[in-house]
Structure 1
Amino acid sequence: MKNISAICFVLLFLTACSTSSTGRKQVSLYPEDELNQMGITSFEQMKKEIPISTDKATNDFVLCVADAITANVPKSANQGDWEVVVFDSEQVNAFALPGGKIGVYTGILNVTENQDQLAAIIGHEVGHVLEHHSNERLSADKLSNVGLAVAAIAIGASEVENKGLWVAGLGIGVQYGLIMPYSRSHESEADIVGQDLMARSGFEPQASVQLWQNMSKLSKTAPPEFMSTHPSNETRIEQLNGHLAVSQPYYLAEKKQNHLPNCVKPKVIPTPKVKK
């Protein structure tokens, strides 16, 4: 038990090593250079496996929004230019990776009604990179695996009955009590950081609320929030609405200086080509 207590103390100490921009305690066990290389490698693999859109109007629209967003990202997050790729897929998704990579699926352009709503998506995804969420998630997985292994050893050495059930129960407890809430906190943080980023880039932050109202119409069969890695749409809308008092002044300052982007969404987003 003393060994377990010592390990728990070390884990608690590690979680206090750094703090996110929103004040949340973080643990990051991996060097940033390693995470950047992971992001670059993953992105290159995706470009080989997923068709890339060649539609000029679609690419111009996405690049216009992404360039406006990344122009306001600190160089500490990525030293060079950001690479933006539009993937020709019906998936309603987008992502950003360490190493300065952004991917947007054409499917999400049918949900985002204008430049501001796409900026909410890209701002959110870049927010994950800014707050080092990939590092945190990998670190959390590593620490939880270590903790479960130690607990399993302790249970194995004890006299409790049904040891297998105890170990299985611990695994479920870690999943629903640690990993999923951890992921939900990342999503909520990326929502807020992304809303600020889009507003500082000249996009209307209210559009982030409208975006998730659109998303909620697509996900009526979503699992309960406590069983999901993402907050419910209702939770996200409430949090984003509450943060408008902070983000709106950033947008109004850009508007006053006439620094608003003018990214035109194509009237028609080409349907992804199906491989024969």
Structure 2
Amino acid sequence: MTKRISTSLAIIAICLLYSGCGSVPITGRKQLSLVSNQEVLSLSLQQYGDFMKSAPISTDKVNTAMVQRVGRNIANAVETYLNNNGYADQVKEYAWEFNLVKSSDVNAFCMPGGKIVVYEGILPYTQDETGLAVVLGHEVAHAVAKHANERMSNQLATQYGTAAVGAALGGSSAAVQQAASIALGLGTQYGILLPYSRKQELEADKLGLIFMAMAGYDPSHAAAFWTRMSQQGGSTPEFMSTHPSDNTRIQQIQKDLPEALKYYRGGTSKSSNAKTSNQWTF
């Protein structure tokens, strides 16, 4: 506990000394941001490209089209929100891709810049487009909230401390590359990002509800999806490895649902070809 408090104080001090704080859209949570977005994107795109060269791309045309359709619906809605709410400068950072990988693993992951991979093994749990929107909304949330940048920044702050982080960042990119290898590295066993923190996962759950609602998908279906995920047999899937307990997640989703429904009821209703709305200004 003492170590955790010391680390938190160090992060706050770095934030004050180097103006390295950002904030997450909608939630407004302050986060450490010591690494430039361009550097994060460059490092992550290299790893993503390497992964896609060897990834077994799904040959299921129907499900592939569904993943791309739902993903694009959510991405379009999110970009509309960002453009209308003072984050237009961030939109250019995203080059969205939505890929379906042939694998029985129950998983999905997102790289910075909007590179999202869904595994076929998760589709029996999503069941339909709305269930898939829960997953893709969650993954889009990781990108929009810049959780990978935050994880890299925290890694740098923990490793170098308040006194040395400025020199580490200013002297060379070696420190950033090392942090990226820890924070962004695609795992050799599962081909996925290392787990995010529970705080980040909860935030992605909340933002995911809102983002799917913006795209016209009913967020009240999210709890049912997470219930199905929790009831599967065997070990905990990688997609859920750092999430809060099942009961905690579902209870939090119920608490966040009224806010998400404001976006759903105010926008378009869900259909197989959900359309986005231009009105997301809050």
> Normalised by the size of structure 1, how large is the TM-score?
0.72
Amino acid at match of 1:11: I
CA drift of 1:218 comes to 2.5
For residues 236 and 195 of structure 1, what CA distance do their matches in structure 2 show?
12
**Could you list the runs of 5+ residues in structure 2 that have no partner in the other structure?**
1-5, 80-87, 165-194, 275-282
Summarize deviations over 1:148-202 as a string: whole Å, max 9, x none.
999xxxxxxxxxxxxxxxxxxxxxxxxxxxxxx9811100000101100000100
Letter in 2 for 1:241: Q
Pair 120,78 (structure 1): closer, same or farther in 2 beyond 3 Å:
farther
Residue of structure 1 equivalent to 2:272: 262
Offset of residue 99 of structure 1: 2.3
Determine if contact 1:77/1:130 at 8 Å carries over to the other structure: no
Unaligned runs of 5+ in 1: 151-180, 223-227, 265-276
Q: Which residue is 2:222 aligned to?
A: 208
CA-CA distance at 1:30 after TM superposition: 0.9
Give the direction of change, closer, same or farther, for the CA distance of 1:221–1:97 in structure 2 (3 Å limit). closer
1:42-121 mapped onto 2 (5 Å cutoff): 42-74=47-79, 76-79=90-93, 81-121=95-135
Alignment of 1:10 onto 2:13: yes
- Percent identity, aligned pairs only, is 36
Structure 1 residue 235 and structure 2 residue 248: aligned?
yes
What TM-score comes out, normalization by structure 2 length? 0.70
| Inter-partner Cα distance in structure 2 for 1:189 and 1:15 | 23
**Aligned residue identity for 2:272:** N
Task: Determine the structure 2 residue equivalent to 1:153.
Answer: none
Q: Is the 8 A contact 2:15 2:32 kept in 1?
A: no
- Partners of 1:254 and 1:56 in 2: CA distance: 29
Aligned length: 224
How far apart are the structure 1 equivalents of 2:48 and 2:271? Answer: 27
Q: Deviations over 1:74-123 (max 9, x none)?
A: 26244564222111111111122222311111111111111111101000
CA-based RMSD of the aligned residues comes to 3.2
Q: Which amino acid aligns with 1:188?
A: L
Moved over 6 A (4+): none
1:244 aligns with 2:257: yes
Letter in 2 for 1:200: M
Residues 167-186 of structure 1 aligned to structure 2 (within 5 Å): 183-186=197-200
Which structure has the greater CA radius of gyration? 1
Deviation at 1:15, TM superposition (A): 8.6
Question: Who is 1:197 aligned against?
Answer: 211
What SS class does the counterpart of residue 78 from structure 2 fall into? coil
Does the CA contact (< 8 Å) of 2:21 and 2:31 recur in 1? Answer: yes
